[in-house]
Amino acid sequence: MAKLDMTDYRNVLGSFMQDGANDYDPKLIGASIRSIASTGRKMDARIHATAVALAHRSADHRDCSLVPALIDAMPKSARRKALIAWFHAFTNVAIRTDDKGKVTANMHGPKSKMFKVSLDLAKAEGKPFWQAEEAAVDPRAFDDKSFAKAIAGLIARAKGENAKLSPAAMAKLADLEGIAKALAPAK
């Protein structure tokens, strides 16, 4: 997603000023709001149609390579999260974003541990992405193993070179290590 272009921002902001006055014109602001509403509805429909096309592509060809591009095209907002939730709810495409913001997408079949749903393209088409449930964002079950892995990740981050924890927090790290050890599968 491109960063905000400050020149465009200043030009748009300046377009709300009344000619010759140092005041924002409510009529010009209202016109902008109506334009946003109209283009927003059209954009939602276009995004949903693109997502449905990608769902069909993944079902027909096991190709989800363009999904990250669609996700990256979205601003980092609730709409983006809803689109990811929609993919998780209606397709076998698992979408992940790493710490640096890189988006990846992978297909999962019924034998995979990551498999969540059978493809239901009719439901996918009928349920717009912006109505997808927030709970569907992470399709993985949260069991003992994933809990232990999450704790291990926190421990690693807490011990990392960028950690800036207080001495009291560092003292509690031993408690977390004990929990992780207790949850670790027997060897």
Where along the chain do its domains lie? 6-140, 141-187
Distance CA 54, CA 93 (A): 10
Q: Are 96 and 104 in contact (CB under 8 A)?
A: yes
Q: What is the pLDDT of residues 110-169, one digit of tens each?
A: 676 666 666 778 888 888 888 876 434 444 456 777 777 778 888 888 888 777 888 888
Distance CA 148, CA 5 (A): 43
Band of pLDDT at residue 20, cut at 50, 70 and 90? low
Q: Give every CB contact of residue 81 below 8 A, 6+ residues apart in sequence.
A: 134, 137
E strand spans, 29-147: 93-97, 103-107
Q: Are 68 and 51 in contact (CB under 8 A)?
A: no
